[in-house]
């Protein structure tokens, strides 16, 4: 079969022949229809993700670890956790029985590959308890997941949405009430965050912007601050930050991981909600579709501007 094959850590996958997967006991072959290339896939391929060795223990291997495909009986499903070295960027892959779920009738498979990013944004409600009318700050709103988070915040009833990013033109494209460019100096960014305090933060950045945001939450004097519920989702701006004690002690900040509150019931509810929004065209997805044969050039693209790269074998 044809596949995108990675031969070295932090390399570029190449379109070439690879042995067909053979299903073992309790496994099933999936004909891949579409697979999205996400930041986590690139991190695993580069060897920088904490689970990189477990997900891709040996090379050569095929990247990407979920996608949309057809089972031998013709059912269209979303699948995850293929058996290494068989990732999703191939004509076929192999997964455990049960490591898939049906895709609703009429949903574009390419759109279905991006649903997890929208589901992640619902952590504003599941983890942080966002209520209708409350305000939201989306840190890193010009990326694929960030753009979806701005839309999800509106759909969840947010009364005011503030968005941050590094590109003024892309920020202006968003349905946000206020935008903040994070490339400005520290003092200017600090002032912008102080002027735009919100109830909930969906944080795809971490690093410097979030460190400055947390500094901005420290009151100028003794006060009884309103809580700021921050959901840590991504680390595009850095894996670490400096957190002064006063940023927690005096500010009312509450920090949650995006997985807080998730379980089979809440995941099912979030999935159903996102599918409904997608069907109603209330949630729109920026996609860049490419054929599998073009993976080498597509993997290296830097011009996607908030569109998700979706590979279709």
Q: Are residues 149 and 92 part of one domain?
A: no
Same domain, 103 and 122: no
pLDDT for 301 equals 93
Question: What sections of the chain are H helices per DSSP?
Answer: 39-46, 52-55, 109-112, 115-121, 123-126, 144-155, 168-172, 186-195, 207-216, 245-249, 264-279, 295-299
* Whether residues 93 and 32 fall in one domain: yes
Q: Domain check: are 95 and 125 in the same one?
A: no
151 shares its domain with 62: no
Q: From the first residue on, what is the mean pLDDT of each consecutive set of 10 residues in the chain (313 residues)?
A: 95 97 97 94 88 88 96 95 96 95 89 92 96 98 96 98 96 96 97 96 97 90 78 93 87 92 88 91 93 97 92 94
- Cα angle at 275 between 274 and 280, to 5 degrees? 100
> What is the rounded CA–CA span in Å between residue 175 and residue 294?
33
Q: Do residues 100 and 53 both lie within one domain?
A: yes
Q: Are residues 214 and 291 in the same domain?
A: no
| Same domain assignment for residues 298 and 230 | no
Q: Are 218 and 246 contained in the same domain?
A: yes
| Position 262 in a domain | no
Predicted structure pTM score: 0.88
**Alpha-helical segments (H) within 61-161:** 109-112, 115-121, 123-126, 144-155
Q: Are residues 169 and 250 in the same domain?
A: yes
Q: Is residue 267 part of a domain?
A: no
The answer to whether residue 276 is domain-embedded is no
What pLDDT sits at residue 244?
87
Query: Would you state the pLDDT for residue 220?
Result: 74
Q: What is the pLDDT of residue 52?
A: 81
138 lies in a domain?
yes
Same domain, 64 and 130: no
According to the model, what pLDDT value does residue 226 have?
75
Q: Is residue 266 part of a domain?
A: no
Domain that holds residue 107: 2-114+285-312
How many domains is the chain built from?
2
Q: Is residue 164 part of a domain?
A: yes
Position 223 scores a pLDDT of: 65
CATH for 7: 3.90.180.10
Same-domain check for residues 181 and 165: yes
Model pLDDT, residue 270: 92
């Amino acid at each position: 079969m044809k596949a995108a094959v990675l031969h070295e850590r932090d390399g570029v996958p190449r379109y070439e022949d690879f042995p067909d997967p053979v299903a073992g006991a309790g496994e099933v072959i999936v004909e891949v229809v579409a697979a999205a290339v996400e930041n986590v896939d690139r991190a695993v391929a580069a060897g920088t993700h904490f689970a990189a060795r477990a997900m891709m223990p040996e090379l050569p291997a095929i990247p990407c670890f979920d996608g949309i495909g057809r089972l031998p009986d013709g059912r269209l499903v979303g699948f995850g956790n293929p058996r290494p070295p068989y990732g999703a960027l191939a004509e076929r892959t192999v997964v455990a029985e049960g490591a898939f779920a049906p895709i609703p009738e009429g949903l574009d498979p390419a759109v279905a590959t991006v649903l997890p990013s929208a589901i992640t944004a619902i952590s504003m409600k599941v983890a942080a308890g966002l209520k209708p009318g409350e305000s939201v700050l989306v840190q890193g709103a010009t990326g694929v997941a960030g753009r979806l988070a701005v839309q999800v915040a509106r759909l969840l009833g947010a009364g005011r949405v503030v968005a941050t990013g590094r590109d003024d033109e892309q920020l202006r494209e968003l349905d946000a009430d206020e935008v903040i460019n994070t490339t400005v100096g520290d003092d200017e960014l600090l002032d912008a965050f102080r002027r735009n305090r919100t109830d909930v933060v969906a944080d795809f950045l971490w690093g410097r912007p979030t460190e400055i945001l947390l500094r901005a939450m420290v009151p100028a004097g003794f006060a009884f601050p309103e809580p700021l519920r921050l959901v840590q989702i991504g680390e595009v701006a850095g894996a670490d930050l400096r957190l002064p004690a006063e940023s927690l002690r005096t500010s009312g900040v509450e920090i949650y991981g995006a997985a807080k509150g998730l379980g089979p019931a809440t995941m099912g509810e979030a999935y159903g909600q996102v599918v409904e929004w997608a069907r109603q065209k209330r949630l729109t997805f920026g996609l860049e579709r490419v054929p599998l044969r073009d993976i080498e050039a597509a993997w290296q693209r830097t011009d996607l501007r908030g569109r998700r790269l979706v590979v279709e074998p």
